[in-house]
Structure 1
Amino acid sequence: MRRDPATTAQPEAGPNTRSAAARGNDDFINLGEIIAVLLEYKWLILAIGTFAVLVGGVVAFVSTPIYRADALVQVEDKKSAKGGLAALRDVEAVLGDTTSVAAELEILRSRMILGRVVDRLNLTVRAQPHHLPVFGRALARRHAGVEPAAPLFGLSGYAWGGERIAVQSLEVAPYLMSEPLTLVAGDNGSYSVFDDAGTLLVSGRVGEPASAEHVSVFVAELVARPDTRFILSRIAHTSAIAALRENLEVRERARQSNVIEAAFSGPDRALAASILNEVLNAYVRQNVEYRSAEAESTLAFLEAQLPELKGQLDTAEAAYNEYRQSRGSVDLTLETQSVLRSVVEADNEIVALQQKREELRQRFTSEHPQVIAVDAQISRLRNRRASFEGNVSRLPETQQVALQLRRDVEVATALYTNLLNSAQQLRVARAGTVGDVRVIDSAVTAQRPVAPRKALILLLSGVLGLLGALGTVWAIRALRVVVEDPQTIERELALPVYATVPASKAEEGIERRILRGRGGKGELLALVSPDDDAMESLRSLRTTLHFALLGAESGSVLITGPAPGVGKSFVTKNLGAVLAQAGKRVIIVDADLRKGHINKAFGVPRGLGVSDYIMGKATLEVIVKPTAVENLHMVTTGLIPPNPSELLMHPQFANMLAALEDRCDVLLVDAPPILAVSDAAIIGRMVGATLLVARAGRHPIRELEQAVKRFEHGGAAVKGFVFNGFDTRRQRHRFGYEGYHYQYKYKS
């Protein structure tokens, strides 16, 4: 059947322009499209999420549990009691915090305190069993027996649970400081220590010190199977303090509460509480020592002065007794004794005021009113004492000398007695000194570890896995610059898409059976499953095919694709079937002289075909073969030639197409992919219309554009596209115009 060239061609209905509503949808996030993409990659998302949760479970299993010990310390505020203006005490809360809690927090974290803890607990020495990497420590923690666990997989060098070691001292050469050493347990309490290079450093036995040129070690306890390895190291004092400070937390529990909350975290429950208690003990001791430091220094001064004063007292008494003996036991008169008492009292008062002045000078300058008042009192006492000196000068010489010597004795006795009493009071005060901090709650370790939080790890791993899966999907979608929507073809290439053919699982099964040689006669989707969605789409193509042939000189249609595997043969044979079922006389020509196989779907042998007719070995009546579908005939490829392109360019091929057109209403020609070989471009000049089959998610838009240009360069024009393999499941989750997908099937 040939078309009349004079037939008026109606304008093509191809959607070269898009509706305003469709264009506007590009400016908004299409939630349905997102849901569709997620459902498309649901197995990938599920796999990545499951893998992330499994990794999180492994991390939670192998992570070392961390225990937390906490305690409370109270700091007394004595600033208000020590001095200050009483009028300002009521506004101290407004002026600011008067406590010294901030300073106490820094003291708790200081090297002075932590250094004492490191020394007392011997934290510069580290010793621990050597476990299998990754899972070994977790397996060892779950060993419940008292004796060391038996080795797994024959790995006797690793510790598997129940091993114990206690190293009281470890001294190493400077070059081995902080370097890991390996202790290998032997028989009957023996052991050997090696360096990283495997060099033996020292050997010894448990409970006995062992020394060598570079290492000195004392192992107090060792419970392990022979050949079990332990990791020893001697770290610097500053490094041990830094590690201790890193795990120590101190803070004021509530503002202006003067209560400090201290906590220490570590993998050993018992050691965590011991370390924190030792920190608090060292802190309390230093506080008491600081508070008693003033009394200690004053007592030291007094104890240094007491022997000197005792010597002065002894000298004064000896001089007085010697003078009395030399003068025949001189006795003081009542008048002289009265003067003596006055002089001694004045001297004692002057000494007391001088001590008071020294105390005031430590806090105030010499211009302070209190210091000036004390100076005035000292001046008056000195004037008074000077008057006493005048009374002494009127006494007889013997009485004057006796009075002078007796005064020295009295003054020395009073000074010595006062210093002796002060020293005794300071000793009592030093013994009873109480600091201004006290431990309210001693360190207690929680029964359950504070880390890792396994539920949180699993939750975070699931969330991260989901985010990672979404990121992977986004990356795949970003890297996949392929056409998945027929509207992209219409928008970018300005060519109509005559039909959108959904993917068919039934067709996939048919193809598998044909490839395996199990397909029988009539194994065609149009016959096996005529209600399939793909067939409904091909029926719509049957309707629109009329517009594709308007204005064409012939009624033949070339069906090809840009690349192999897009379903061109599927479209050709099933379109021919639905056309024949509509009463049209249809002939299908398998012009793929390289890999043609349409005959298998109809159960027709290859026999004589196109190549045989072109070479003159067969007639038209011989090559046109009937099929199981009424009104549908086909022409097979025939003998596969060595030169398909040259054979298709033969005039006899064009004559064959013209002759076949006269015998049918619609002639369908199946050709090889246009981008693979030039066969389709040769045939395109001989037919009335060319349709390109594009498969969803297979081609970049540039590939389709190149296929169209190949036909244009060959002198043929592509009428439009058939979009094959469209995923209708995604469409169910779309919203808006692009997402409409209708199904209407007959049910009995």
Structure 2
Amino acid sequence: MRDDRDDFINLGEIIAVLLEYKWLILAVTFFAVFIGAVVAFVSTPIYRADGLVQVQDSKGPKGGLAALRDVEAVLGENSSVTAELEILRSRMILGRVVERLRLDIRATPDYFPIFGRALARRYNGDQPAAPLLGLGSYAWGGERITVQTLEVPSYLVGLPLTLIAGDNGGFTLYDDQDQPLLDGSVGQPASSADGKTTLFVAELVARPGTHFDLARISQIQAIAALREDLEVRERARQSNVIEAAYSDADRAEAERLLNEVLNAYVRQNVEYRSAEADATLAFLEKQLPELKAQLDTAEAAYNDYRQTRGSVDLTLETQSVLSSIVKVDADVVELQQKRDELRQRFTPEHPQVKAIDSQLGRLRAVRGTLDKDVNRLPDTQQTALRLRRDVEVATALYTNLLNSAQQLRVARAGTVGDVRVIDPAATAPLPVAPRKALILLLSGVLGVLGSLGLVWAIRSLRVVVEDPQTIERELSLPVYATVPDSKDEAVLSRAIARGKTDKGQLLATAHPDDDAMESLRSLRTTLHFALLGAEKGSVLITGPAPGVGKSFISKNLGAVLAQAGKRVMLVDGDLRKGHINKAFGIGRGVGVSDYIMGAASIEQIVKPTGIDNFSLVTTGQIPPNPSELLMHPRFAALLAELEKQCDVLIIDAPPVLAVSDAAIIGRQVGATLLVARAGRHPVRELEQAIKRFDQAGVEVKGFVFNGFDLTRQRHRFGYEGYHYQYKYKA
């Protein structure tokens, strides 16, 4: 029947796996946090300087000079904040900063990789730090260099150069191929032999032999590097306030660079407005002489006519017509100028252009009417009126143009920009990066996630049997006992292996209340099912591979049976590496191999173990041909004779997949039990062990599941995991 619980995520299983790999998870997480701490330690702190710039709504003249508003159109129009943002990041502005601060020259000490810069940053001495580990070519703290001039041939632009400090302020400059370019001293210009490379070092504080990295980069590269660390944005929508920020590893340098950018931007804005005024003023000053000449010509013609004709006085009617004509002509000239300005930006179909055309049409119509009135005057009056009109119109145009020029001169002298610095650059006392707490937190989170991924990968690749239910489900064989993992047995095994005890000890006698012993007592109860129907009362205990605990099961099962009053005989059938005798403090002496070869009798090979009703037959001398000895008829006779002397005969055999000994012995016993260890075998391995016995004609009765982790299984199976310990401790 299918278990519906398989459809759900088993939280207990997840917890069990996490507990099993807790040390791996902790190790990976600790390593990740350690790497994060190293990164936080060696990362260069980045400081951020910021400032505010206000963009005015218009570029017209400011202040109380209302008369200057007439020239606002000449000086500019409303600015767009978006356009100002692009101007602030343009090569025009940043290029000036690069030239002024010589950002196209890079000069830094050469630090030891990874840790050198961090150690130098934390050095507070007045003199350069002593080199660590004798590495005198690196800078370890306190070194300074200021390069004011560095000119190199075009093929060296952008390539790394090396400056090595010498004695008494001297230095040598090398190219990227470690070839010397020039020698020089601090405070003095230095040049190469061919004159193509020049260098001026204003300051150099370093131990002799210290290396410095120099480079002369192109202006485009310097501008790109400056732009990469520069941030500009509008502070708030439609606020006309621009926030500028610059990030750098040096607090003072970040503030200095940003202030220079803001100042260059303000200077450019003022220069731009001043340049517009200069261009307009130059145009007006070019027109003034022409209008002055026209005025002089008109006045001379009018005076000549009056001298020729005598004094000609205009009537009141004629003077009225003259005034009207002068006004209309002046208006026509002014409107025509406005139309020419608009046509530079708009098409003739634009409403403003069409409105001016309409006004010009009306003025021309009025002028035509006035011309008709003039034509009705006498010839003398007409001529005098025409000449006087020319004088009046020229005078009005010249006067207006002269006034405009004067206003522009005043405006240029008092030109202010449309932008102003509200807050100059200021740097916060703490760096904005790296955020060390965040780095440690993220490294811890990534460590946990990475360790979980590693556990998942291990579990995915490790397809092994973790619980006895898998054996019963996949192999259709019973599991007679599930033996919990015993820490006390591990301690005893290490003591015996290190020779710390000569007498030897069994878990069954040293710790009879251990959970593993309770499980073996359960196996003692169910063992008769394995021997049910068997002609012989002997049991073979083996495993598919070494290290599964078959010898532990054999010797302790024998002790438990003996304690229950059974006569038990344990035979060490591993004629290759048998060592059960050490657990009893008995020497190998004579044993199975000696009896088979006829060198000893049964009475000589059966040895007491110190436990009532429990005897041991050791391997004897390790033979060169164990398989052949086990196939000898005397071995079968030995087992038959030993069965007569005991109630239960237990034979401990080598792993079946390693050698054929277990399959040979299996033909001579009543029941064969395989020992499987939790988390050690894939199902395929157990199947192969059973197949190996089947090929030898031996039937495997069932399994003993060893090394079961009760603590883990409690989390894995919930209440089901408690029944082992509950049963043992009741």
Pairwise same-fold verdict (TM > 0.5): yes
**Does 2:132 align with 1:152?**
yes
Q: Judge conservation of contact 1:264–1:276 (CA < 8 Å) in 2.
A: yes
Q: Judge conservation of contact 2:643–2:649 (CA < 8 Å) in 1.
A: yes
- How far apart in 2 are the matches of 1:381 and 1:655? 150
- How far apart in 2 are the matches of 1:704 and 1:219? 79
**Does 2:215 align with 1:222?**
no
Written as runs of structure 1 = structure 2, the 5 A alignment for 1:12-23 is 20=2, 23=3
CA deviation digits over 1:582-613, x for unaligned, max 9?
A: 01111111111112222222233323222222
Equivalent in 34, 42, 45 of residue 62 of structure 1: 42
Written as runs of structure 1 = structure 2, the 5 A alignment for 1:365-380 is 365=348, 368-380=354-366
CA deviation digits over 1:464-513, x for unaligned, max 9?
A: 11111222222222222222222221121111111111222222222223
- How far apart in 2 are the matches of 1:200 and 1:336? 97
Q: Which residue of 1 aligns with 2:439?
A: 457
Q: Which residue of 2 aligns with 1:10?
A: none
Mean Cα deviation higher: 663-672 or 180-189? 180-189
Go from structure 1 to structure 2 and tell me whether the alpha carbon gap of 1:383 and 1:642 turns closer, same or farther (over 3 Å shift).
same
- How far apart in 1 are the matches of 2:13 and 2:226? 55
Q: Which residue of 1 aligns with 2:325?
A: 346
Deviation at 1:560, TM superposition (A): 0.8
Q: Which residue of 2 aligns with 1:52?
A: 32
Deviation at 1:191, TM superposition (A): 2.4
Deviation at 1:655, TM superposition (A): 1.5
Q: Which residue of 1 aligns with 2:185?
A: 205
Q: 1:517 corresponds to which letter in structure 2?
A: G
SS of residue paired to 1:734: helix
Q: Judge conservation of contact 2:328–2:363 (CA < 8 Å) in 1.
A: no
Q: Which residue of 1 aligns with 2:68?
A: none
- How far apart in 2 are the matches of 1:531 and 1:219? 85
SS of residue paired to 1:307: helix
**Number of equivalent positions:** 705
Q: 2:404 corresponds to which letter in structure 1?
A: S
**Does 2:335 align with 1:356?**
yes
- How far apart in 2 are the matches of 1:617 and 1:151? 77
- TM-score normalized with structure 1 length: 0.87
- How far apart in 2 are the matches of 1:132 and 1:527? 64
Mean Cα deviation higher: 564-573 or 433-442? 433-442
- How far apart in 2 are the matches of 1:333 and 1:208? 85
CA deviation digits over 1:639-683, x for unaligned, max 9?
A: 222221111111221122112112211111111111111111011
Equivalent in 234, 259, 264 of residue 252 of structure 1: 234
CA deviation digits over 1:337-379, x for unaligned, max 9?
A: 9968964873464144222233135436377234212332144
Go from structure 1 to structure 2 and tell me whether the alpha carbon gap of 1:460 and 1:427 turns closer, same or farther (over 3 Å shift).
same
Q: Which residue of 1 aligns with 2:367?
A: 381
Q: Judge conservation of contact 1:348–1:414 (CA < 8 Å) in 2.
A: no
- How far apart in 2 are the matches of 1:388 and 1:146? 96
Written as runs of structure 1 = structure 2, the 5 A alignment for 1:481-500 is 481-500=463-482
Go from structure 1 to structure 2 and tell me whether the alpha carbon gap of 1:77 and 1:572 turns closer, same or farther (over 3 Å shift).
same
SS of residue paired to 1:227: coil
Mean Cα deviation higher: 256-265 or 526-535? 256-265
Q: 2:363 corresponds to which letter in structure 1?
A: Q
SS of residue paired to 1:153: helix
Q: For structure 2, which runs of at least 5 residues remain unmatched after alignment?
A: 62-77
CA deviation digits over 1:155-209, x for unaligned, max 9?
A: 2222222222222232222221211111222333332221111111223333333
Go from structure 1 to structure 2 and tell me whether the alpha carbon gap of 1:703 and 1:80 turns closer, same or farther (over 3 Å shift).
farther
Deviation at 1:386, TM superposition (A): 6.4
**Does 2:160 align with 1:174?**
no
Q: Judge conservation of contact 1:99–1:256 (CA < 8 Å) in 2.
A: no
Deviation at 1:27, TM superposition (A): 2.6
Q: 2:146 corresponds to which letter in structure 1?
A: A
Go from structure 1 to structure 2 and tell me whether the alpha carbon gap of 1:204 and 1:320 turns closer, same or farther (over 3 Å shift).
farther
Q: 1:107 corresponds to which letter in structure 2?
A: I
**Does 2:521 align with 1:542?**
no
CA deviation digits over 1:421-479, x for unaligned, max 9?
A: 21111111233334443322221111110000011111111111111122222222222
Q: 2:577 corresponds to which letter in structure 1?
A: K
Q: Which residue of 2 aligns with 1:658?
A: 640
CA deviation digits over 1:374-416, x for unaligned, max 9?
A: 33214423552564476472359xxx6x887776665544443
- TM-score normalized with structure 2 length: 0.89
Q: Which residue of 2 aligns with 1:139?
A: 119
Q: Which residue of 2 aligns with 1:270?
A: 252
Deviation at 1:572, TM superposition (A): 0.7
RMSD: 3.0
- How far apart in 2 are the matches of 1:729 and 1:688? 36
Deviation at 1:724, TM superposition (A): 1.4
Q: Which residue of 1 aligns with 2:497?
A: 515
- How far apart in 2 are the matches of 1:413 and 1:522? 134
**Does 2:574 align with 1:592?**
yes
Q: Judge conservation of contact 1:522–1:628 (CA < 8 Å) in 2.
A: no
Mean Cα deviation higher: 381-390 or 280-289? 381-390
Deviation at 1:293, TM superposition (A): 5.2
Q: 2:169 corresponds to which letter in structure 1?
A: G
Written as runs of structure 1 = structure 2, the 5 A alignment for 1:121-140 is 121-140=101-120
Deviation at 1:543, TM superposition (A): 0.8
**Does 2:91 align with 1:105?**
no
Percent identity of paired positions between Structure 1 and Structure 2 = 69
Mean Cα deviation higher: 528-537 or 212-221? 212-221
Q: Which residue of 2 aligns with 1:162?
A: 142
Mean Cα deviation higher: 599-608 or 642-651? 599-608
Bigger RCO (CA 8 Å, 6+ sep): 1
- How far apart in 1 are the matches of 2:148 and 2:375? 73
Q: Which residue of 1 aligns with 2:15?
A: 35
Mean Cα deviation higher: 426-435 or 732-741? 732-741
Go from structure 1 to structure 2 and tell me whether the alpha carbon gap of 1:411 and 1:253 turns closer, same or farther (over 3 Å shift).
closer
- How far apart in 2 are the matches of 1:115 and 1:582? 99
Mean Cα deviation higher: 630-639 or 734-743? 734-743
